[in-house]
Amino acid sequence: MATNVTLHGLIRRAYDVQDDEILGGPDWLNSEGYDIDAKVEKSVVDDLQKLGPDQRVLESKRMLQALLADRFKLSLHSENKEVPVYALVIAGNGLKIQRAIPGDTYANGFKRSDGVPIGAGDWSQPGKFVGQGFLSRHCAGPVRALPASGRFG
Protein backbone atom coordinates (compact mmCIF):
# COMPACT_ATOMS: atom_id res chain seq x y z
CA MET A 1 0.00 0.00 0.00
CA ALA A 2 1.31 3.44 -0.91
CA THR A 3 -0.27 6.87 -0.65
CA ASN A 4 0.43 9.88 -2.88
CA VAL A 5 3.57 8.36 -4.38
CA THR A 6 4.88 9.49 -7.77
CA LEU A 7 5.56 7.17 -10.67
CA HIS A 8 9.18 8.29 -10.37
CA GLY A 9 9.23 7.02 -6.78
CA LEU A 10 7.61 3.75 -7.76
CA ILE A 11 10.20 3.20 -10.50
CA ARG A 12 12.99 3.89 -7.99
CA ARG A 13 11.60 1.28 -5.64
CA ALA A 14 10.73 -1.33 -8.28
CA TYR A 15 14.06 -1.17 -10.08
CA ASP A 16 16.34 -0.13 -7.21
CA VAL A 17 17.69 2.93 -9.03
CA GLN A 18 18.61 6.45 -7.95
CA ASP A 19 16.92 9.66 -9.13
CA ASP A 20 19.71 10.52 -11.55
CA GLU A 21 19.43 7.09 -13.18
CA ILE A 22 15.87 7.74 -14.39
CA LEU A 23 15.95 9.69 -17.63
CA GLY A 24 13.10 10.81 -19.84
CA GLY A 25 9.41 10.30 -19.28
CA PRO A 26 6.49 12.74 -19.16
CA ASP A 27 6.46 15.84 -16.95
CA TRP A 28 3.94 14.28 -14.54
CA LEU A 29 6.38 11.42 -13.77
CA ASN A 30 7.61 13.33 -10.72
CA SER A 31 4.59 15.47 -9.90
CA GLU A 32 1.41 13.36 -10.00
CA GLY A 33 0.78 11.36 -6.83
CA TYR A 34 -0.90 7.96 -6.86
CA ASP A 35 -2.45 5.79 -4.18
CA ILE A 36 -1.78 2.09 -4.60
CA ASP A 37 -3.76 -0.54 -2.76
CA ALA A 38 -2.65 -3.78 -4.41
CA LYS A 39 -4.10 -7.05 -3.26
CA VAL A 40 -2.57 -10.47 -3.76
CA GLU A 41 -4.03 -13.92 -3.37
CA LYS A 42 -3.51 -15.72 -0.07
CA SER A 43 -1.46 -18.38 -1.85
CA VAL A 44 0.96 -15.67 -3.05
CA VAL A 45 1.28 -14.33 0.50
CA ASP A 46 1.95 -17.87 1.73
CA ASP A 47 4.63 -18.36 -0.94
CA LEU A 48 6.26 -15.02 -0.06
CA GLN A 49 6.41 -15.97 3.62
CA LYS A 50 8.35 -19.10 2.72
CA LEU A 51 11.11 -17.01 1.16
CA GLY A 52 14.06 -15.46 2.95
CA PRO A 53 14.06 -11.68 3.47
CA ASP A 54 16.25 -10.90 0.44
CA GLN A 55 14.24 -13.13 -1.87
CA ARG A 56 10.99 -11.68 -0.51
CA VAL A 57 12.15 -8.14 -1.31
CA LEU A 58 13.25 -9.21 -4.80
CA GLU A 59 9.90 -10.88 -5.49
CA SER A 60 8.03 -7.81 -4.18
CA LYS A 61 10.00 -5.66 -6.61
CA ARG A 62 9.11 -8.01 -9.47
CA MET A 63 5.44 -7.74 -8.52
CA LEU A 64 5.68 -3.93 -8.50
CA GLN A 65 7.41 -4.03 -11.90
CA ALA A 66 4.53 -6.10 -13.27
CA LEU A 67 1.99 -3.66 -11.80
CA LEU A 68 3.79 -0.70 -13.41
CA ALA A 69 3.89 -2.45 -16.78
CA ASP A 70 0.20 -3.34 -16.55
CA ARG A 71 -1.28 -0.12 -15.16
CA PHE A 72 1.09 2.49 -16.61
CA LYS A 73 2.21 0.57 -19.72
CA LEU A 74 5.70 1.27 -18.43
CA SER A 75 8.49 0.12 -20.66
CA LEU A 76 12.11 0.92 -20.09
CA HIS A 77 15.58 0.05 -21.16
CA SER A 78 18.98 0.35 -19.60
CA GLU A 79 22.08 1.71 -21.18
CA ASN A 80 25.64 2.42 -20.19
CA LYS A 81 26.50 6.07 -20.19
CA GLU A 82 29.84 7.72 -19.58
CA VAL A 83 29.58 10.45 -16.98
CA PRO A 84 32.18 12.46 -15.08
CA VAL A 85 32.92 11.24 -11.55
CA TYR A 86 34.97 12.23 -8.54
CA ALA A 87 37.61 9.60 -7.89
CA LEU A 88 38.49 8.94 -4.25
CA VAL A 89 42.20 8.15 -4.32
CA ILE A 90 44.91 7.82 -1.71
CA ALA A 91 47.07 10.94 -1.67
CA GLY A 92 50.78 10.67 -2.46
CA ASN A 93 51.70 11.17 1.19
CA GLY A 94 49.40 8.37 2.39
CA LEU A 95 46.08 7.93 4.17
CA LYS A 96 44.83 10.51 6.65
CA ILE A 97 42.26 8.14 8.17
CA GLN A 98 43.05 5.30 10.52
CA ARG A 99 41.87 1.71 10.46
CA ALA A 100 39.17 0.92 13.02
CA ILE A 101 40.35 -1.36 15.80
CA PRO A 102 37.89 -4.11 16.79
CA GLY A 103 36.83 -3.75 20.41
CA ASP A 104 38.00 -0.12 20.75
CA THR A 105 35.24 2.01 22.32
CA TYR A 106 36.46 5.26 20.72
CA ALA A 107 35.72 7.38 23.80
CA ASN A 108 36.49 10.55 21.84
CA GLY A 109 34.76 9.25 18.69
CA PHE A 110 31.26 9.51 17.28
CA LYS A 111 28.99 11.84 19.26
CA ARG A 112 25.65 13.57 18.75
CA SER A 113 25.55 17.35 18.46
CA ASP A 114 24.96 17.60 22.25
CA GLY A 115 28.18 15.63 22.94
CA VAL A 116 26.52 12.37 23.98
CA PRO A 117 28.18 9.30 22.42
CA ILE A 118 26.14 7.59 19.71
CA GLY A 119 24.58 4.41 21.03
CA ALA A 120 24.02 0.98 19.56
CA GLY A 121 23.89 0.54 15.82
CA ASP A 122 26.28 0.65 12.91
CA TRP A 123 28.32 3.48 14.43
CA SER A 124 28.87 1.64 17.71
CA GLN A 125 31.37 -0.60 15.91
CA PRO A 126 33.35 1.85 13.76
CA GLY A 127 34.69 0.40 10.55
CA LYS A 128 32.73 -2.83 10.81
CA PHE A 129 30.23 -1.88 8.13
CA VAL A 130 32.32 0.58 6.14
CA GLY A 131 33.58 -0.76 2.83
CA GLN A 132 34.75 1.27 -0.11
CA GLY A 133 31.28 1.23 -1.71
CA PHE A 134 29.78 2.67 1.48
CA LEU A 135 32.49 5.31 1.63
CA SER A 136 32.02 6.28 -2.03
CA ARG A 137 28.22 6.57 -1.70
CA HIS A 138 28.36 8.62 1.49
CA CYS A 139 31.10 10.94 0.28
CA ALA A 140 29.08 11.56 -2.88
CA GLY A 141 25.95 12.43 -0.87
CA PRO A 142 26.69 16.12 -0.26
CA VAL A 143 28.18 16.54 -3.75
CA ARG A 144 25.28 15.35 -5.89
CA ALA A 145 26.62 17.06 -9.00
CA LEU A 146 28.95 14.14 -9.76
CA PRO A 147 28.97 10.53 -8.59
CA ALA A 148 31.96 9.29 -6.63
CA SER A 149 33.93 6.16 -7.28
CA GLY A 150 36.55 4.56 -5.08
CA ARG A 151 40.05 3.55 -6.14
CA PHE A 152 41.58 1.95 -3.10
CA GLY A 153 44.44 -0.09 -4.46
Q: Of 41-45, 109-113, 139-143, 147-151, which range is least confident?
A: 147-151
DSSP for 23-78 reads: ----GGGGT-EEEE-----HHHHHHHHTS-HHHHHHHHHHHHHHHHHHHH------
Mean pLDDT of 104-118: 69
* Residue of 14, 61, 9, 58 lying closest to 35 (CA atoms): 9
Q: Quick one: 14 exposed, middle or buried, by C-beta within 10 A (0-12, 13-18, 19+)?
A: buried
Pairwise CA distance, residues 56 & 62, whole Å: 10
pLDDT in tens, 11-40: 999 998 888 888 888 889 999 999 988 888
> Considering the chain, what is the average pLDDT of its residues?
76
What pLDDT, on a 0 to 100 scale, did the predictor assign at position 153? 43
Confidence at 152, pLDDT banded by 50, 70, 90: very low
Structure pTM? 0.58
Q: Of 67-71, 97-101, 110-114, 117-121, which range is least confident?
A: 117-121
Pairwise CA distance, residues 124 & 36, whole Å: 38
Pairwise CA distance, residues 124 & 119, whole Å: 6
